[in-house]
Amino acid sequence: MSNANTKVKEPLFHVVKRIGMPTWQSWLIRIVSVVFALIICGVITVLMTGENPLQVYATIIKGAVGTERRIWSLAQNTAILLCVSLAVTPAFKMKFWNIGAEGQVLIGGLATTWCMLNFGDKLPNWLLIIVLLVVSIVSAALWAVIPAFFKARWNTNETLFTLMMNYIAIQIVSYYVLIHSNPKGSGFIGVINPNTEAGWLPKLFGQQYMINILIVIFLTVFMYIYLKYNKHGYELSVVGESENTARYIGINVKKVIIRTMILSGAICGIAGFLLVSGTDHTITRDTAGGRGFTAIMVSWLAKFNPIYMILTSLLIVFLQRGAGEISTVFNLNQSFSEIITGIIIFFIIGSEFFVNYSIKFREKEGK
């Protein structure tokens, strides 16, 4: 068998693809990676502050869920992030890299703001809220369908297109905020309709954020069913796996791309509506606050499964708020939480390698 003349040195190890790892095992790997990341972050924090590491972790937990108000705020932030993540998921499953969620959320929020300012005192509140919802969904869906149209028609690179659309949306919002700033010249819109609370989502069970959370829970279930048990969801995952297969079995790829992006934009619009009408009652260029980008990571980490996304978005928000608390308590810079988030995401991204691939070491000589 072996030919002495062409003896090639076998590398020490090589990488092969794994086929079907049990779910519990893959989740074990992910959890281990998060634990590793937390240890590394703890070490970094200890080096920075010289505090007892246990105290650092205690501070994270206290910062995230320390008081009732914090728990609600955590739930609210998780809900919004989850909503944006749900929005980008169908597009990603189709391998349409919609990184324009930031802009789509802003456009939805802007539409809400526009209606609140213009119809605030003309419509009864229940009607106004329905109008807000519809208008924000429609405008964000229109915003999202522009890159989808060009992708479907001319195969324009959607990653770069949607990325650029973000900044156009940000500038439009800045423009709108400046010309409608209240008081004039301040550069901020301020709280809209502070006295009448027109267009504000009402409190439910005495909790301001209850409706937001309920809407997002509904959307999560909807998206889970849509992706898993609906023909549309099946079609878009076929398009994502292989466009040629999709075309061969008679799926209208262009239609699927445009339809999916309308859905994606519409849910971003809801997120924008929840942010403006349900949370901030105002808009700035930072209203989306990078959630459009974080959502991509949330969705990807959850393997595009809406139910897992609850966990991943909770994890990210938990860490952000916890790390924010660390920076306040230990007198560090607020950006500390971004570093922590970055490190943890690096670890989780890296851990996927061990889920999908395994390393085979060189076998002993003479076999």
Which residues of this chain interact with another protein, rule CB under 8 A?
15-17, 97, 99, 150, 154-157, 159-161, 163-168, 171-172, 174-176, 178-179, 187, 290, 293-294, 296-297, 300-301, 332-339, 341-343, 345-346, 349-350, 352-353, 356-357
Give the separation between CA 142 and CA 110, rounded to whole angstroms.
Answer: 13
Q: Which is nearer to another protein, 157 or 230 (CB)?
A: 157
State in angstroms the smallest separation of the CB of 219 from another protein: 22
290 in the Ramachandran plot: left (φ > 0), alpha (ψ -120 to 50) or beta?
A: left
Written as six digits, the tokens of 66 are 């320390």
Q: Which is nearer to another protein, 43 or 164 (CB)?
A: 164
Query: Rounded to the nearest whole angstrom, what is the least distance from the CB of residue 144 to another protein in the complex?
Result: 14
User: What angle do helix axes 306-329 and 68-93 make, rounded to 10 degrees?
Assistant: 130
Q: Give min distance, CB of 92 to another protein, in A.
A: 9
Whichever of 138 and 172 has its CB closer to another protein, that residue is: 172
Integer Cα distance of 124 and 131 in angstroms: 11
Residue (212 or 264) nearer to another protein, CB: 264
Minimum distance, C-beta of residue 314 to another protein, in the bound complex (Å)? 18
Exposed / middle / buried, residue 83 (Cβ in 10 Å: 0-12, 13-18, 19+): buried
The DSSP output letter for 282 is S
Closest approach, Cβ 68 to another protein, in A, equals 29
> Which residues does 252 contact at the CB level (< 8 Å), separation at least 6?
none
Which one, 84 or 301, has the nearer CB to another protein?
Answer: 301
193 with 125: CB under 8 angstroms? no
Residue 189 falls in which region: left (phi positive, over 0), alpha (psi -120 to 50) or beta? alpha
| 281 φ/ψ angles, rounded to the nearest 5 degrees | 55, 25
Closest separation in Å from C-beta 199 to another protein: 23
Reduce the DSSP state of residue 284 to 3 states and report it. Answer: coil
Nearer to another protein by C-beta: 118 or 333?
A: 333
